Amino acid sequence: MQSYTIHLIRHGQTQANNDGRYIGRTDEPLSPEGLMQLLSMKQQYDYPGGARFFTSPLTRCRQTLEVLYPGCHAEVVDGLAECDFGEWDGKSAAQLKQDELFSRWLAGEPVEIPGGETGEQFQHRVQHAFEALVEDMMRHKDTEAVVCTHGGVIMLLMAAYALPRAPMHEWAAENGGGFTLRITPTLWMREPVAEAIDTVPRIRPAE
């Protein structure tokens, strides 16, 4: 039976990542260190291929695909952008620790980020975009794809669809890393779930 494989990869490191600051819709590029780290990972590890490539609209994701898959002609999926952190964007957890809303948000409560998205809005947007992507792959019989997106998006997708089930925090991906999902159409049509079958990238076998 035909299945579909999707590799979810988190973008390379930015200066905000290095500083421990939240960035959502801020269109920050890869840092020089992040670029060098990606190039090093590409040399040391094996990144999977794909018939199609998809990316968040933000520069850090598009740059990551350009480094890992030069000339891949990635398709932009607006719905796979990171959460809109509103007034928290660009701030660290230390700067926000006195904010009661932030503490409740960290605890998983359904609060609205000031000037940003609610958790429900973020989840609906991302899941709608991903399910449309899967449907498009199935319609065109494209059996393997690479998706470059954000840490929060990957955690949400894995918690929502991946088997075995695990909470969001257990699906945290390092910059340049991620997970591989395998989708079986008959199972997906009955209930949208996918098998978590691997991590990205793979260790290169010794010659």
Mean pLDDT of 109-130: 93
pLDDT at 203: 82
pLDDT at 106: 86
Taking only the tens place, the pLDDT of each residue in 87-98 is 999 999 999 999
Mean pLDDT of 17-32: 96
Q: Quick check: 69 pLDDT over 90?
A: yes
Q: Which two tokens stand for residue 113?
A: 């980020």
Q: Quick check: 205 pLDDT over 90?
A: no
Mean per-residue pLDDT over the chain, rounded? 95
Taking only the tens place, the pLDDT of each residue in 41-61 is 999 999 999 999 999 999 999
> The whole model's pTM is what?
0.95
| One-character DSSP codes across 64-130 | HHHHHSTT--PEE-GGGSPP--GGGTT-BHHHHTT-HHHHHHHTT---BPTTS-BHHHHHHHHHHHH
- Sorting pLDDT into bands at 50, 70 and 90, what band is 207? low
pLDDT at 25: 92
Chain centroid offset of residue 190 CA? 25
Q: Quick check: 20 pLDDT over 80?
A: yes
Mean pLDDT of 135-160: 98
Higher pLDDT, 205 or 141: 141
Q: Quick check: 187 pLDDT over 80?
A: yes
Mean pLDDT of 185-197: 96
